[in-house]
């Protein structure tokens, strides 16, 4: 259920009004807020501060994996590095490593929007968190290729054997 409000969206930096479907200011690219929430003396929350750091050009597209971390703390460190460069990110438990008893334990995937992948990769390369080389193929694909090759060899041997005996 979507909450509809009568208050227009405005830029917290330049006070330019925008339609309700806009996300960022067209003049200064700041995240928009509702007009009623623009208080001069209001303290800025952590969420608002994080939103102001995000560059709109890095916030488009589906989430893709940019890095992996051994635990929650390492993943949050990577997330903070990316945020300082304006790249939004999300953390996700790595598939197959569900540890419900220890919530901060286990590997995490750091996910970024597709438009921010190149910038995030550059930041992580400079920090030497990821390497230049791309993984050749996932282990499952290599196992499948090996099985297909083995089946082809067995079929070839069977075909040659039937030709010699028949």
Q: Judging by beta carbons within 10 Å of its beta carbon (0-12, 13-18, 19+), is residue 89 exposed, middle or buried? A: buried
Summarised one tens digit per residue, pLDDT across range 102-153 is: 666 788 999 999 999 999 999 999 988 887 765 555 677 788 888 999 999 9
Q: Name the percent of the chain in helix, strand, coil, to the closest 5.
A: 40, 15, 45
Tell me the whole-structure pTM to 2 decimals: 0.56
CA dihedral 95, 101, 104, 108 (to 10 degrees): 0
Task: Give the pLDDT score at 46.
Answer: 78
Strand partners, 34: 9
* CATH number for region 56-126: 3.30.70
Contacts 24+ apart (CB under 8 A), 61-65: 61/113, 61/114, 61/115, 62/113, 62/114, 63/90, 63/111, 63/112, 63/113, 63/114, 64/111, 64/112, 64/113, 64/114, 64/117, 65/109, 65/110, 65/111
Write down the domain spans for the chain.
9-49, 56-126, 138-166
Instruction: Quick: pLDDT tens for 64-109.
Output: 999 999 888 999 999 999 999 999 999 998 877 766 666 667 889 9
């Amino acid at each position: 259920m979507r909450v509809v409000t009568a208050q227009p969206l405005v830029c917290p930096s330049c006070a330019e009004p925008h339609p309700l479907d806009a996300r960022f200011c067209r003049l200064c690219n700041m995240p928009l807020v509702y007009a009623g929430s623009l208080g001069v003396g209001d303290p800025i929350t952590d969420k608002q501060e994080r939103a102001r750091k995000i560059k709109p050009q890095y916030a488009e597209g589906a989430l893709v994996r940019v890095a992996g971390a051994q635990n929650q703390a390492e993943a949050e460190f990577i997330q903070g590095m990316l945020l300082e460069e304006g790249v939004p990110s999300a953390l996700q438990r790595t598939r197959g490593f569900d540890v419900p008893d220890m919530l901060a334990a286990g590997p995490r995937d750091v996910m970024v929007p597709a438009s921010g992948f190149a910038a995030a990769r550059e930041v992580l390369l400079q920090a030497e968190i990821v390497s230049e080389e791309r993984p050749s193929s996932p282990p499952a694909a290599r196992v499948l290729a090996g099985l297909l090759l083995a089946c082809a060899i067995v079929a070839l041997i069977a075909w040659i054997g039937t030709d010699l005996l028949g």
